[in-house]
Amino acid sequence: MRKESVKRLQEELRTVAHYSGQMPEVAVDGVLDEPTVNAIRDFQKLSGLKETGQPDFDTCRRLDEVYALVRENTAPPLTLAPFGNCPVAMAPGEEAPAVYMVEAVLNALADHYGNLPHVEVNGVFDEAAQTAVRALQAHCGMEETGRMDKRTWNAMARLYNGTQKRACRP
């Protein structure tokens, strides 16, 4: 086997071992060494395959299947894109389904950050919602316009998702 193929095999074995807890984890170095052969044998035993320690067709096919299941079951859920590729903009007084989402996210952030106010979830981008947006913008070091635009939405989403250490960076 080529080194790249052995590395992929080891990556899959390591991931399956990590989540199953029933096999030792192997180093991913591209070398079909004794620990890798033993891990293959352990996988074959757990999978009801002939225990050869060799990465034969049936073993690789079954490992690919199990690896795909582990990845699917451990991957984070997909995000929702309520606005698609359209720019986010909400006018004062606007009534729209998207406003409900903004209000709910603002309330979730208010629960987490003490300096953000709660708003009534009513689907109207009213003065209370605009005040909460201004507080969010201030929290993120942005100009306090009270407008929900794409930049404000992205800052709110980063805070909500917690994907960055300093989430408010544009």
Which residue range is the domain that position 53 belongs to?
A: 3-74
Residues 69 and 129 in one domain: no
Q: In this predicted structure, what is the pLDDT of residue 124?
A: 94
- Report the first-to-last Cα separation within the chain, whole angstroms: 46
Q: In this predicted structure, what is the pLDDT of residue 79?
A: 57
Residues 120 and 68 in one domain: no
Q: Decide if 57 is inside a domain.
A: yes
Q: In this predicted structure, what is the pLDDT of residue 167?
A: 44
Q: In this predicted structure, what is the pLDDT of residue 36?
A: 96
> Quick check: pTM over 0.75?
no
DSSP single-letter state for residue 53: S
Residues 24 and 63 in one domain: yes
Residues 35 and 93 in one domain: no
Given 26, 43, 74, the domain boundary residue is 74
Q: How many domains does the chain have?
A: 2
pLDDT along the chain (170 residues), means of 10: 93 93 92 96 96 95 93 69 56 88 90 89 95 95 92 85 49
DSSP string computed for 75-139: SPPPPP-TTTTSPPEE-TT-B-HHHHHHHHHHHHHHHH-TTS-----SSB--HHHHHHHHHHHHH
Q: Decide if 79 is inside a domain.
A: no
